[in-house]
Amino acid sequence: MNIVYNDEKKDLPLAQLHELFIAVGWSDGNALPDEMKAGFMQPWIHSTLVISAWDGDRLVGAVRVLSDTIFRSVIYDLLVAPQYQGKGIGSELVRRCLAHFPSSGWLVCTEEKTPYFYKKLGFSEMKETDIVLGIPCRYF
């Protein structure tokens, strides 16, 4: 397996990216409605950083970051195809994100079952006094 990482291409192939979302359980597998299809790539294109992992011409992993590049950076949508999980691809994607903005503070919102993954990469739980608030996306 020869995984190649790319930190220059933000406009990933829509079909392959959607397949990754399906594979990790973040999409139900239904065809994207036209409204979503038109905007599906916008979060990726407008992110500060996108790093993708490729096995030949197959997209097997991707992550995107929103950052001011100095003080705050947030990891979004870390995806690795299930058959490629456990091979260090997700860790390498995160390490490459951290290397781009090494002095930045980092945040990630993760599922209840996966904080250990980020903790082994240096993330820690926020102080009890920190409060994270949100408004959910209308698509999810």
The model's confidence at residue 61, banded by pLDDT at 50, 70 and 90, is: very high
pLDDT tens, residue by residue, 3-51: 999 999 999 999 899 899 899 887 776 766 777 766 888 999 999 999 9
Phi then psi for 53, rounded to 5 degrees? -120, 135
Average pLDDT of the chain is: 88
Q: Strand runs (DSSP E) across 81-139, as ranges?
A: 105-108
Q: Which residues 6+ apart lie within 8 Å of 121 measured at CB? A: 91, 94, 95, 98
Q: What's the pTM?
A: 0.87
pLDDT for the residue numbered 30: 72
Residue 134 has pLDDT above 70, yes or no: yes
Beta sheet of 49-55, edge-to-edge order: 3-6, 49-55, 58-67, 72-80, 105-108
Q: Please determine, looking at this structure, whether the domain spanning 3-119 carries the CATH number 3.40.630.30.
A: yes
Domain residue extents for the chain: 3-119
